Amino acid sequence: MLKKLKRVKTLISKTLKKLPTRKKPSRPSNQSPPPPLVPQPSAPAIPAIETMPSSKKSPTPFLFPQIQSSVIPDPSPFFSPPLLSSPLPTNSFFQNFALRNGDQAEYIHPYLIKSSSSSLSLCYPSRFFSSSFIYQTFTSDLTISTPSSSSSSSSNHIISSFNDLSLTLSIPPNLRFFLVRGSPFLTFTTLNNTPLSISTVHAILSLTSNPSLTKHKILLNNNQTWVLYSSAPLHLTQTTSLLSAPDFSGVVRIAFLPEFRHEAVLDRFSACYPVSGDASFSRPFCLEYKWEKKGWGELLLLAHPLHLRLLSVDDCDVAVLDDFKYNSIDGELVGVVGNSWVLRTDPISVTWHSIGGIKEDFFAEIASALQKDVEGLNPNPITTSSSYFYGKEIARAARLALIAEEVGFLDAIPTVRRFLQDTIAPWLEGSFNGNAFLYDPKWGGIVTRQGSVDSGADFGFGIYNDHHFHLGYFLYAIAVLTKMDPAWGRKYRPQAYSMMADFMNLGRRSNSNYTRLRCFDLWKLHSWASGLTEFADGRNQESTSEAVNAYYSAALMGLSYGDTHLVAIGSTLAAFEIQAAQMWWHVREGEGLYEEDFSRENRMVGVLWNNKRDSGLWFAPPEWRECRLGIQVLPLLPITEILFSDVGFVRELVKWTVPALQREGVGEGWKGFLYAMEALYDKDAALEKMRTLKGFDDGNSMSNLLWWIRSRCDVDDEEAGDGFVGGGGRHCLFGHYCH
């Protein structure tokens, strides 16, 4: 090792002599070697992730100073009083039900569901598309209400309870809906004998009932057929657009009939209904769904394409009904019978340095770039008070330290360490001028000082937008600094863990300071970025790569603190996020997931909504393809290699993007990410283009791009995989530090 370091320093010295003379940062005489790559825990096994305690848990969780925000909405009109004593979700699949009037529809697969005017409407949506977008439209196919509900003093629905996979919505005084994600049935109960009304915007062509009046088929003039099941006789009378029944007490289940041959399937599973559903991380890279059910018989639910890809039939007793399908904007939903599912994703590598390594021949070249980038570090140039852009700049600096460590240029590390100490601590101590992290007790989460008075500040961080993006960058810098300076890490560990818990808390306890997994959707298996804003198309997310960075950075923080629990959580969430990005954001022509018009013109979704696919970005039109590529790549990290493990797709992505560079005014920073992708299959061409760049993204650098290109392995498209394996399995070190 000493001989290797001497050779490296000789190469660096020769290279630096050729550069213009600059003052070299002095190396302290007491400098110690960099900390080991991965701490080695002594625990022989990892219990369930959600029950395993942190190895160094703080006795009292840290909270940033409280603030009473002037821009955050009041949750009390929609949540039942017992729920208000705990942190509330701010990016959930039912968020529209708790914002403004609560009357915007939500897509709870396979139905769009809307609650308004003391009634609940459901829609099996139609799908519209062009080369620029895909979306589903809401029509009140069926609306359920009771006369007593419409005359109730409260016009709002009440969120009685919620879980990872379900929501219980009550419409006072007598209706309770069990909205379980992926259920082909809409299920509700009447709490007392009450008349029922089922109306439609269409004309009812026919109503047929079985002799016991517990099954009814409803044919509408839009060619839809719905089947209604009841636990007791339901005496329906029909007018043109209304079905009504006298007093009824019991359970009602309603399902759209996609094909007449599926009626027997609905009949068979109509008597068993789920009332709630939970997801749990039983072990790393594994997620288990369990539903609480009532009635009798077997439980039928629907799985989206990623569920089907990850469903481990060896670990759970399920049967897949390949021919029982519903349409969805996320791809066909397929029937699965079983009380619990187990989803497994391939393990991924969470490493400080490049996965494949860098040849020693390139160390001096990278060190030369590092010399310039590190000399440019100074706390003063960070003039932004934005939590997002500030986070990007400190994470950029942290990258320089890890690159320096990888290539043996240890002289650069003290400068980076001092820079990070000077720039991170003010945010953790509340001494940074112009902005700060604060705690909002109304919903239960971190906001910024700027965001507490201006909903548009910090890209909406104060109304819970983009929390994993902003905090992910901070966690990355904290993880690297803690690796370099364990004493600093111990001092600020409470603040660091509080920031992590804001978006990665797994707890369900009422005394928690943060909601459970603020951004990550345990049914869709990816994150949502939008917060407390009502949108007609539900939640949305633009940058999957920044979402991956958040969980990857949390896992790195686990490495720096020797916390195998946090390593397991972060690695697992990052793995699922990668799978979802490859499934729904990376568009492959001929795949069949999206319509041909859309998949022919797009290789990357811009903004993905719960109920829409958009080629535009929040900050750029569809024609700016280099931005669409870049926002799904940045920040450039070791894990980026796993996110873009399908080299064949990357070739198509680069080919699709290149024409956009002919437009006047294309940013140099965006070009850098395009060249980084090209390096996955043509390092020489990418290197030549990279050397012509006149600037870099504020989270990127010449050193980082050079590190990326020089760490590319020589693999062909076939060896690189098909992009669906999650990536990283070939080099995964998870078992090395989590036995």
Q: Which residues contact 368 (CB under 8 A, 6 or more apart)?
A: 12, 15, 16, 19
Catalytic residue among 542, 563, 577, 697: 542
Q: Which residues contact 527 (CB under 8 A, 6 or more apart)?
A: 91, 468, 519, 520, 521, 541, 547, 550, 577
Quick check: bond before 635 cis, omega within 30? yes
Q: Which residues contact 552 (CB under 8 A, 6 or more apart)?
A: 350, 472, 476, 570, 571, 574, 637, 639
Beta bridge partners of 607: 614
Structure-token pair, residue 17? 């002599």
Instruction: Read off φ and ψ for residue 281, nearest 5 degrees.
Output: -90, 95
Q: Kind of pairing, strands 106-108 and 111-116?
A: antiparallel
Structure-token pair, residue 8? 């490296």
**Residue in 554, 529, 712 with CA at minimum distance from that of residue 636:** 712
Structure-token pair, residue 7? 């050779």
What is the CB neighbour count within 10 angstroms for residue 372?
Answer: 14
What is the CB neighbour count within 10 angstroms for residue 51?
Answer: 11
Which residue type occupies 360? E
Terminal Cα-to-Cα distance of the chain (whole angstroms):
27
DSSP helix/strand/coil, 610: coil
Known catalytic membership, residue 406: no
Look-up of token digits 């369990």: 290
Known catalytic membership, residue 623: no
What is the CB neighbour count within 10 angstroms for residue 150?
Answer: 13
Catalytic residue among 466, 646, 678, 697: 466
Q: What is the DSSP string of 323-358?
A: EEEE--TTS-EEEEE-SEEEEE-------SS-SS--
Look-up of token digits 């319509």: 595
DSSP-derived letter for residue 585 is I
Look-up of token digits 């005394």: 511
What is the CB neighbour count within 10 angstroms for residue 490?
Answer: 12
What are the Cα distances from residue 80, in Å, to 38, 156, 162, 544?
46, 11, 11, 33
Catalytic site residues?
A: 466, 542, 546
